[in-house]
Amino acid sequence: MSTTPLIELQHLVKRYGDKTAVGDVTLEVHAGEIFGFLGPNGAGKTTTIRVIVGLLQPTSGTVRVGGYDVQAQPLQAKAICGYVPDQPNLYAKLTARELLRFVGDLYGVKRTQVAHRIEELLRLFDLTAAGDDPIDSYSHGMKQKTALAAALMHDPRVLVLDEPTVGLDPKSARLFKDILRQMADRGAAVFLSTHILEIAEHMCDRIGIIDRGRLIAVGTMEELRALGKGERSLEDIFLSLTGGAEYAEIAEVLR
Ligand SMILES: Nc1ncnc2c1ncn2[C@@H]1O[C@H](COP(=O)(O)OP(=O)(O)OP(=O)(O)O)[C@@H](O)[C@H]1O
Ligand SMILES: [Mg+2]
């Protein structure tokens, strides 16, 4: 069975001046899939994500979201996409209720549904009581949950998240994982970057490993295992593919 991918990168290249942050990345994420994007610091994950959600222009190559070219049809692409950045920059003077209402209006959520949806999301994220406090009075995790709630407000078909579990307590992290699974099971495509290999291993249907701007491996856990020369854990596979040998040098330095 072949379906149209909800996220499609073709030969994506992004340079900052002379520096190639993303070099020729081609990949697809289909409806129903959670795709985990792994890579060392500076590998190009955030850059790729910012191109997918239309915040950065590709240097070359194409990106499609829901079949829409992000460059040529940015509004259509953005309308079906929810995005949680690595450092959510929320309107700090607004309350969570005000923010969600604003986002609902922005994305054209039906007036009759907005209030219900806001209360549903606040309840889901344990933010009902704080819902009328300004966001700048929230803890880091509460801000993170508010950002996720805002990204879910218009029930996006494509959800893109940059290291979304950083700072979440175990209950919130679990809730967050359950929500992403539910979204995927209902036909959304989820693209997330993470450094938490346990999340990638247990939550993601497929995993892509990027290193110095190059996609060096893509596949299911089984497929990655087959690449990993007998390594069993994703950590071992990740380290061997992205230069885990450097750890021997560290041991040398610390001795
Ligand atoms: N605005 C920018 N101007 C110049 N170079 C940049 C800019 N943003 C990122 N880079 C460079 O592009 C490369 C990729 O950065 P990116 O933020 O995409 O990495 P990342 O995989 O998200 O890393 P991390 O795991 O640390 O979040 C890095 O070498 C970084 O220095
Ligand atoms: Mg990043």
| pLDDT value at residue 2 | 56
Query: Is the Cβ atom of 209 under 6 angstroms away from ligand 1?
Result: no
| pLDDT value at residue 228 | 74
CA of 20 to the centre of ligand 1 (A): 10
The gap from C-alpha 12 to its chain's centroid, in whole angstroms, comes to 17
Q: Which residue carries 């520096």 as its tokens?
A: 19
Q: Which residue carries 């955030």 as its tokens?
A: 46
Once rounded to an integer, what is the mean pLDDT over residues 218-239? 85
Choose between 250 and 136: higher pLDDT: 136
| Amino acid in the structure at residue 196 | I
The reply to whether 242 falls in a domain is no
The reply to whether 143 falls in a domain is yes
In sequence order, the 6+-apart residues with CB closer than 8 A to the CB of 51 are: 12, 14, 22, 57, 58, 63, 70
CA of 45 to the centre of ligand 2 (A): 5
Ligand showing the shortest atom-to-Cα distance for residue 42:
1
Query: Is the Cβ atom of 208 under 6 angstroms away from ligand 1?
Result: no
The gap from C-alpha 197 to its chain's centroid, in whole angstroms, comes to 14
| pLDDT value at residue 211 | 95
The reply to whether 252 falls in a domain is no
The reply to whether 32 falls in a domain is yes
| pLDDT value at residue 233 | 84
- Nearest atom in ligand 1 to the alpha carbon of residue 44 is 18
CA of 132 to the centre of ligand 1 (A): 36
**Sheet of 19-29: strands edge to edge?**
19-29, 7-16, 60-65, 68-69
Which of the listed residues 122, 155, 188 is the one where a domain comes to its end?
155
Full domain range(s) for residue 12 = 1-80+157-171+179-220
Question: CATH number for the domain including 20?
Answer: 3.40.50.300
Q: Do residue 66 and residue 165 come from a single domain?
A: yes
- Nearest atom in ligand 1 to the alpha carbon of residue 213 is 14
Q: Do residue 69 and residue 184 come from a single domain?
A: yes
CB 157 within 8 A of CB 6: yes
**Sheet of 206-211: strands edge to edge?**
81-84, 158-162, 189-193, 34-38, 206-211, 214-219
Which stretches does DSSP call E strand in the chain?
Answer: 7-16, 19-29, 34-38, 60-65, 68-69, 81-84, 158-162, 189-193, 206-211, 214-219
Q: State which of 20, 38, 47 you would mutate to test the pocket of ligand 1, scoring each by most atoms of that ligand within 8 A of its C-beta.
A: 47
Q: Over 60: is that where the pLDDT of 57 sits?
A: yes
Q: Over 70: is that where the pLDDT of 97 sits?
A: yes
| pLDDT value at residue 239 | 87
Number of domains in the chain: 2
Ligand showing the shortest atom-to-Cα distance for residue 19:
1
Query: SS3 sequence, 177-237?
Result: HHHHHHHHHCCCEEEEECCCHHHHHHHCCEEEEEECCEEEEEECHHHHHHHCCCCCCHHHH
- The reported pTM is 0.93
Query: For residue 159, which of 40, 73, 39, 37 has the smallest C-alpha distance?
Result: 37
55-64, 187-196, 204-213, 223-232: which has the minimum mean pLDDT? 223-232
The reply to whether 43 falls in a domain is yes
